[in-house]
Structure 1
Amino acid sequence: MNIALKQLKVFVTVAQERTITAAADKLFLSKPAVSMALSELEKHLGHKLFDRNNNRLIINEQGKRLLPLADELLARSHAIEQLFDQTGPVTGKLKIGSSDTVGNQITPFLLRDFRASCEHRDQTLFISNTAQICHMLSEFELDVGLVEGKVQQADLEILPWLSDDMVVACHPEHPLTKIHHLSLADLEGSEWILREPGSGTREYFLNRIAPRLEKWHQAFELNTTEAIINCAAAGLGITCLSRLAVEHAVHDNRLVILELPLDMQRQYWLLYHKEKYQSPLLRLFLQFCHNWQLSDKQSQ
């Protein structure tokens, strides 16, 4: 059997993209070349790796068994290619995914400190909601995820990481700011500005605050924290966001935080695929994350 790295790269890309056309575009190959490489790999292995559904290719059980091994071989090959091109104790590329709050407020400082400590510069950062980060980890498109949403996914290792406080915030002239000793009952009937489904921030609101209200209304659903802050600052409703995310708007007197009699601490999570090959670089980064803390100075 003579399996080529090119065939494995085509296989992994097709598994991630799910169509020959999309995989060909990503690999800068023709569609016949991708089809041929995949066909040759399946012929070598004596097994089909995908179920065909119209124009989509859905990875089957044989393909799922191969995927982590193919990912490992490609990672090792990439490490060999870069062995003498990088300085420092570790080589390779690190693909990091972060959900919105973590990616905008925390991960940049984490990467700054990791680079200073380990002299490694080759990282990519993809920011989306928690659901998308989990999907990309499952498809081996990312090495590690840092998210705020609670995750229940059998193929992922889910480890508690940092924590943060959630807050309810609004325009400084909102009627709720005039109420002394605010209670949750005072939030009844409020207009809320929320993140989209799949976001850890939205999940927190729906699990911790919404069940305590008999009546609430979603005024806007937006997919970026900054857009939510701007809408709340424009007086279009109230919102529930990370304290880290709203600090700058509070400092600029665009928003105020409503003090509520509710424990609003939230856990952040570190994720990676259980079958992901842990290169020396990935092991080093995971250990660095475990030992790292966000200081007050960094969060301002």
Structure 2
Amino acid sequence: MTIRHLRIFIEVVDSGKMSAAAEKLFISQPTVSQAIRELEEHYGGLLFERLSKKLYITKKGQKLLSYARNVVKQFDEMEEAMIQDNYVKKIRLGATNTVGECILSGIINALKESNPQTEIYSYVNNTRNIEEKLLKAELDIGIVEGRVKSPDLISIPEVNDFLVLICSTTHPFSKKKTVRLEELKNESFAMREQGSGTRELFEKYMQEKGIPIKIALEGNSSDSIKKAVIENQFLAVISIRQVEKEIKEGKIQVIQNTDSDWNRYFSIVYHKNKVKTYEMMNLIEIIKNYKNIDILNVISTGKLVKN
């Protein structure tokens, strides 16, 4: 078994066909077939089921894939470090949209200060996309507000966060000390896109309580959500960290859930087979500095009650 075998295996998984993998790698299809056959003989089992001319990865194949991407990536990094005199250390950081808007810039600045020779790449998207890139070894580490689903990823809750219901300061709810959960079913909501950890948590909560959500707008940024709340009288559920500015400007009123169902964490996530570098360990220590929230100590809020 060689690195070349693993590269071919990964390309077959990503392409879905041996012919497509051969074309992408500029080799013949028989060469691809032979490499897969040699891997299967080496590990003593099928890596793909071949049904109706289609390939379906097996459990053994999934297990190999969880190692293969990281092994190939680490091999490439070793080659680059050993061969190139001007090799630059790199770290690829993924963050969900909420994290990106709240704390990412401060984290990157602190990481630059402590690792001035390290090249930092950051990628911001929703939880689902960050998870996919971590599994493909396209990112080294992620900070997410949602729950990752793959057993191949390690997720460590590290930074406190919670969701709040928000409305404009001209909305009728802004004058109420308490809002009943039942009242939300008649309101229009601005919601994050599918795949968002914020949306997943809120939808799950409302489903459990039997309250339908009337979605009037879907957006992939907090700015579009907050604008709809302020200008269109929609409601939204959002991280408390994302509305500090609008609260201070008197544009948004916060309604806090009286139970803890909207409490959550921003979690540090990385592949279970990933070798943690010094830069990754340093990043984890930096993230811990953002653990607590103090904005609610200086504002008055309404209360969301079950009934």
TM-score range, shorter chain: 0.7 to 0.9
Return the match for 1:239 from 233, 236, 241: 236
Matching residue's letter, 1:261? T
Is residue 42 from structure 1 mapped to residue 36 from structure 2 by the alignment? yes
SS in 1 for 2:228: helix
Q: 1:111 to 1:290 in 2, by over 3 A?
A: closer
Q: Quote the residue 2:147 is aligned against.
A: 150
Q: Is the 8 A contact 1:94 1:281 kept in 2?
A: no
Say whether the 8 Å CA contact 2:21–2:32 is kept in structure 1. Answer: no
In the other structure, the counterpart of 1:163 is 160
Q: Which residue of 1 aligns with 2:137?
A: 140
Separation in 2 of the partners of 1:14 and 1:267? Answer: 37
Cα distance between partner residues in 1 of 2:49 and 2:117: 40
Alignment partner, residue 201 of structure 1 = 198
Tell me which amino acid in the other structure corresponds to 1:258.
Answer: I
> 1:54-77, CA deviations, whole angstroms, 9 ceiling, x for partnerless residues?
786543344334331452243133
Give the superposed CA RMSD.
3.5
Per-residue Cα deviation, 1:169-222 (whole angstroms, up to 9, x for no partner) = 122211211324444454342211112332110122123456446454222233
Instruction: Tell me if structure 1 keeps the 8 A contact 2:95–2:142.
Output: yes
Q: Contact 2:161/2:293 (CA < 8 Å) preserved in 1? A: no
Q: Please give the alpha-carbon distance, in whole angstroms, between the structure 1 residues aligned to 2:153 and 2:21.
A: 25
Q: Structure 1 residues 118 and 224, CA, compared in 2 at 3 Å: closer, same or farther?
A: same
Q: Which residue of 1 aligns with 2:113?
A: 116
Per the alignment, do residues 286 and 260 of structure 1 end up closer, same or farther by CA in structure 2, a change over 3 Å counting?
A: closer
Compute the displacement of 1:224 (Å): 2.7
**Structure 1 residues 210 and 63, CA, compared in 2 at 3 Å: closer, same or farther?**
closer
Mark the CA change 1:109 to 1:64 in structure 2 (over 3 Å): closer, same or farther.
same
Structure 2 residue runs of 5 or longer lacking an equivalent are 295-307
* 1:91-133 Cα shifts (integer Å, max 9, x gaps): 3x32322221112322232222122112343232222222232
Q: Deviation at 1:21?
A: 8.6
Q: 1:95 to 1:41 in 2, by over 3 A?
A: farther
- Relative to structure 2, which stretch is displaced further, 71-80 or 34-43? 34-43
Q: Which runs of 4+ in 1 moved over 6 A?
A: 20-24, 53-56
SS of residue matched to 1:149:
coil
- In the alignment, the residues of structure 1 paired with residue 203 and residue 249 of structure 2 have an alpha-carbon distance, to the nearest angstrom, of 28
Count matched residues. 286
Distance 1:17 1:293, change over 3 A: farther
Q: Equivalent of 1:271, from 269, 272, 276? A: 269
Cα distance change on mapping 1:128 and 1:16 into 2, 3 Å? farther
The question of whether the paired residues in 2 share the 8 Å contact of 1:159 and 1:271 is answered with yes
Tell me what 2:13 maps to: 15
- What runs of 5+ residues in structure 1 fail to find an aligned partner? none
Contact 1:193 1:238 in 2 (8 A): yes
Q: Does 118-127 or 101-110 show the bigger shift?
A: 118-127
**TM-score normalised by the chain length of structure 2:** 0.75
AA paired with 2:232? G
| TM-score for the superposition, normalised by structure 1 | 0.77
Q: Displacement, 1:142?
A: 2.7
Amino acid at match of 2:184: L
Match of 2:57 in 1: 59
Distance 1:293 1:228 in 2: 24
Identity of aligned residues (%): 24
Letter in 2 for 1:189: N
Does 2:27 align with 1:33? yes
Paired residue for 1:173, among 170, 173, 176? Answer: 170
